[in-house]
Structure 1
Amino acid sequence: MSRYMLEPEYTLAVLVDYQEKVCRPIWKTEELEQKLVHAVKGLQILEVPLLVTEQYPKGLGQTTEPLRKALENYEPLEKVTFSCMRDPVFRKKLVESGKKDIILMGIEAHVCVQQTALELMEEGYRVFLAADLVSSRNPYDREMGIERMRDAGCVITTIESLYFELMGSSKADHFREISLHIR
């Protein structure tokens, strides 16, 4: 098992709290949403399982409509904790998945994403943060969240880099489809 690279059979993606009312004040939110939709489609091509969380959806709304439409199976996990790991339903789904390599994306980088990453790593999971798929209300908080996660041992990368790690070779089943997807 590679120490720093994803292992496809052990990989799970987590989309954290990209919701209607939460995303409005997020820095570069329109660009982020487009990238998240694109990433969700790419991860589905590669058959990577995906968990979607929503922070208090009664007050903060659902996952945004473009993301809901992009998701093949929209079954959000509702939570009130900032760290996904402190939510018993999320924790149960994670354990049941048997996955140990976690791709993280969503908002806010310095709150829910960061706390989730730190607690995942504390429990022995390997966290791969797609830095192009996270943001916060202000760029400095985003930057500090990413820096703290890096300092704690999180692998900081991009979604495109992760696609190619997951495939490993131009002979991979989905190579052509992903190549077309990223253009």
Structure 2
Amino acid sequence: MRINVEDTLFCLVDVQERLFPHMTNKEELEKNLVTLAQGLKVLEVPFIVNEQYKKGIGETIPSLREFVDVDPHFEKTTFSCCKNETTMDAIKAANKKIVIVAGIETHVCVLQTCIDLLEANLQPVLVTDCVTSRKQKDTDMAIKRLVQAGVIPTTYESLLFELTVNAKNPVFKQISNLVK
């Protein structure tokens, strides 16, 4: 299935200040998430930002905040973003059929969000190099489970070029420079 920019929404899951320091591969994850966010902004993909229990876990990390501050933010206590009624209403209101998902933790909030998106007849696309957990084994198992369930796996670079489609796209040079 082709991932088209006009059919796509981005759902950022719980990349928050007090949780992020405990993640595996956090330096690479942060770099990848920033590149993904920048690229999706260039491509004008709409964003939905989710934050789990902000009082306890904090805000979205500063390096991402500058790219997502203007986007709708939803605080939740449910693990799945979709179990939060206001988030799900926003996802439905966007009227997109593909939801790009990235964030933490892969085996809890990301996994449950993707499963619920499938159940809502939406197609989740998991950016595998933009998700992680505290333990690598949890990330690996969650990705396997999600792929078996029907989630489309990809990487941020592959996704950004797929959404760009053509080297003649006016944003191609910007996307190309981001992934270098």
TM-score strictly above 0.5: yes
The corresponding residue for 2:168 is 171
Q: Is the 8 A contact 2:17 2:57 kept in 1?
A: yes
Match for 1:54 among 51, 55, 69? 51
Q: Is the 8 A contact 1:68 1:74 kept in 2?
A: no
Identity %: 41
Match for 1:152 among 145, 149, 161? 149
The corresponding residue for 2:101 is 104
The corresponding residue for 2:74 is 77
Alignment map for 1:85-100 (pairs within 5 Å): 85-100=82-97
Structure 1 moving runs of 4+ over 6 Å: none
Structure 1 distance, partners of 2:36, 2:4, is: 18
User: Amino acid of the residue matched to residue 121 of structure 2?
Assistant: G
**Structure 1: gaps (5+ residues):** none
The corresponding residue for 2:159 is 162
1:24 pairs with 2:7? no
Structure 2 distance, partners of 1:114, 1:5, is: 22
Per the normalisation by structure 2, the TM-score is 0.96
**Structure 2: gaps (5+ residues):** none
Structure 2 distance, partners of 1:25, 1:72, is: 23
Structure 2 distance, partners of 1:27, 1:138, is: 6
- Answer with 5-14 or 108-117: which moved more: 5-14
Quote the offset at 1:31 in angstroms. Answer: 1.8
The corresponding residue for 1:44 is 41
Match for 1:126 among 103, 123, 136? 123
- Count matched residues: 180
Q: Is the 8 A contact 2:36 2:160 kept in 1?
A: no
Quote the offset at 1:7 in angstroms. Answer: 1.7
User: Amino acid of the residue matched to residue 37 of structure 2?
Assistant: V
Q: Cα gap change, 1:75/1:98 in structure 2, threshold over 3 Å: closer, same or farther? A: closer
Superposed CA RMSD: 1.1
Q: Is the 8 A contact 2:14 2:104 kept in 1?
A: yes
1:113 pairs with 2:110? yes
User: Amino acid of the residue matched to residue 56 of structure 2?
Assistant: G
Q: Is the 8 A contact 1:100 1:126 kept in 2?
A: yes
